[in-house]
């Protein structure tokens, strides 16, 4: 999400398959409405390489209490197609790399990375879609109005080593921020310092978060 050279920047380290990033989605949406604030997306690669996984009954049992807690805390919806469809599909693969490459492509071409992330989260948690599948990603991109062939070409250009380099840079930024995982937010100040912002007290309170960010952005500008 582009801004002017002197705009304060909210760095957001996320993963499209991270439940607590879905919990923070209303906060991200609220942050987009803060005047003069630029949001920089950094995919962390939570489920890549050896951390890729297929759905198992054990995984379903692990994530469901977290998902129920997220729904209770934030009001974020979870669909039957997710709980009783995707989370019971033992052939489905959880892989953060393809959806992150798609988000990078949408951001590079159209500045629409946040829009695609939001669509991917809904597709995963409400519609129970396999967001690591190329055909699903292309359909979701066209859902938000992106050109299908141009999107597919951009994803191909970002896939593989460019996305893995992005993950490495995001992890380095996360270490600089002092972040402990996903989601992590930090505000870049004019002197180059990064001020980490703990979003956990604001979950379910997007209006208050927006006011807090607006004040922090004014001080950082």
Check which CATH number belongs to the domain holding 146 and give it.
3.40.30.10
Please give the average per-residue pLDDT across 37-42, as a whole number: 96
With cut-offs at 50, 70 and 90, classify the pLDDT of residue 5.
low
Query: Would 2 be classed as within a structural domain?
Result: no
Please give the average per-residue pLDDT across 95-107, as a whole number: 98
Query: Would 118 be classed as within a structural domain?
Result: yes
- With contact defined as beta carbons under 8 Å apart, do 10 and 185 qualify? yes
What per-residue confidence (pLDDT) applies to 192?
A: 76
What is the Rg, in whole angstroms, of the alpha carbon atoms belonging to the chain? 17
Tokens read off for 7: 């705009």
Please say if the pLDDT value at position 26 is more than 60.
yes
Please say if the pLDDT value at position 52 is more than 90.
yes
User: Of all residues in the chain, what percent carry a pLDDT higher than 70?
Assistant: 97
Query: Would 4 be classed as within a structural domain?
Result: no
Continuous segment of H or E residues that includes residue 197? strand 194-197
Mean pLDDT of the chain: 94
CA distances (Å), 217 to each of 7, 37, 138, 199, 221, in order? 8, 7, 35, 15, 6
Query: Would 87 be classed as within a structural domain?
Result: yes
Least confident of 16-30, 61-75, 184-198: 184-198
Query: Would 1 be classed as within a structural domain?
Result: no
Domain count, the chain: 1
Please say if the pLDDT value at position 138 is more than 50.
yes
Query: Would 3 be classed as within a structural domain?
Result: no
E strands, 6-84, in order: 9-14, 38-43, 53-54
Query: Would 92 be classed as within a structural domain?
Result: yes
What per-residue confidence (pLDDT) applies to 3?
A: 47
Q: At what angle do helices 113-125 and 97-110 cross, to 10 degrees?
A: 150
Q: Is the pTM of this model over 0.85?
A: yes
With cut-offs at 50, 70 and 90, classify the pLDDT of residue 2.
very low
Domain holding 203, by residue range, is 9-220
pLDDT in tens, 189-220: 877 789 999 999 999 999 999 999 999 988 87
């Amino acid at each position: 999400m582009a801004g002017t050279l002197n705009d304060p920047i909210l760095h957001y380290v996320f993963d499209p398959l991270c439940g607590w990033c879905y919990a923070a989605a209303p906060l991200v949406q609220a942050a987009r409405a803060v005047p003069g604030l630029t949001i920089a997306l950094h995919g962390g690669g939570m489920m890549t390489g050896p951390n890729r996984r297929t759905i198992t009954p054990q995984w379903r049992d692990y994530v469901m209490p977290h998902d129920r807690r997220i729904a209770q805390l934030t009001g974020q919806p979870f669909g039957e197609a997710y709980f009783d469809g995707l989370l019971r599909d033992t052939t489905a693969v959880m892989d953060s790399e393809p959806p992150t490459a798609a988000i990078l492509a949408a951001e590079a071409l159209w500045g629409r990375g946040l829009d695609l992330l939001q669509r991917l989260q809904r597709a995963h948690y409400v519609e129970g879609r396999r967001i690591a599948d190329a055909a699903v990603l292309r359909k979701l991109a066209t859902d938000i109005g992106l050109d299908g062939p141009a999107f597919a070409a951009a994803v191909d250009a970002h896939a593989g080593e460019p996305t893995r380099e992005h993950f490495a840079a995001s992890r380095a930024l996360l270490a600089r921020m002092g972040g402990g995982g996903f989601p992590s937010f930090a505000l870049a100040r004019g002197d180059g310092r990064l001020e980490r912002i703990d979003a956990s007290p604001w979950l379910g309170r997007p209006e208050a978060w927006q006011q807090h960010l607006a004040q922090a952005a004014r001080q950082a500008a």
